[in-house]
Amino acid sequence: MEEQQIDHTPQTGPLYYCPVCGEPAYRLIPYSEHATGNGHLDAWGDHIAYLDLHPDCREAGHPARVAILGAAVAPLIFPRGPDGTVITGECVALIRQTLDTLAQEAGPQAAHEPVAAIVYRLAAGLISPQAAVEEIHALVEAPLKNTGIVGKPYFVESSGYEGIAIVLSVNNDDTVNVRSDYTGQIHIVEKDDLTCPYDPRNYE
């Protein structure tokens, strides 16, 4: 059997297409409508859907399962064990990874708007609801007590990120939310990781 070439590029709708041949799908089928009842992935049901593919696509075995974040989707090809059964732990890891890709590539506003970044990370399962609440509180409170650094560019040297970043807010535990000046991604670093202010005039 010829190996299928699957396009993993995120789709943002309102029309969705077969990831193999590009044939338009009729609609998205929610997980709750399609679920077989085994319950292994029910906790992730809000982020799983199925393309209602053209009969020719279904007959050819084109994959219909997708991860969904907002209106954006991308194929989910679950790994299977030697006996052909899906491996739940690996499936969950793949769902998380695909949702993270959707948040970064299909939700570009998340890279520029701090609140949107929090919402997308929460929806992708990357942070807990309580962590999201605390980060939003920090966004509101931090400018009042950290007016000296919020909104300004700094050189950052941390284990998770090195480079120039804009300080978005300072959290209650003295960690700092920063936005990479290069990629636009949000990082949480220690306040001490802000080595010095960045002034572009010094590098002209």
What CATH number has the domain spanning 112-199? 2.30.30.360
- How far apart CA 27 and CA 80 sit, in angstroms, is 27
The rounded distance, in Å, linking the Cα atoms of 116 and 36 is: 33
- Ranges assigned E (strand) in the chain: 28-30, 48-51, 65-69, 72-75, 153-157, 162-170, 175-180, 186-190, 194-197
Q: From first to last of the 204 residues of the chain, give the pLDDT tens digit.
A: 456 899 999 988 767 899 999 998 888 888 888 765 557 788 888 889 999 998 999 999 999 999 988 778 999 998 877 887 777 888 889 998 898 888 777 654 333 356 766 776 677 666 788 888 887 877 766 554 454 677 778 888 887 788 888 887 777 667 777 877 666 677 888 888 888 786 655 544
Q: Where are the domains of the chain?
A: 28-106, 112-199
pLDDT confidence of residue 89 = 86
Q: Name the one residue in this structure whose structure tokens are 């709750």.
A: 32
Measure CA 39 to chain center: 24
Q: Is the pTM of this model over 0.85?
A: no
- Decide: helix, strand or coil at residue 43: helix
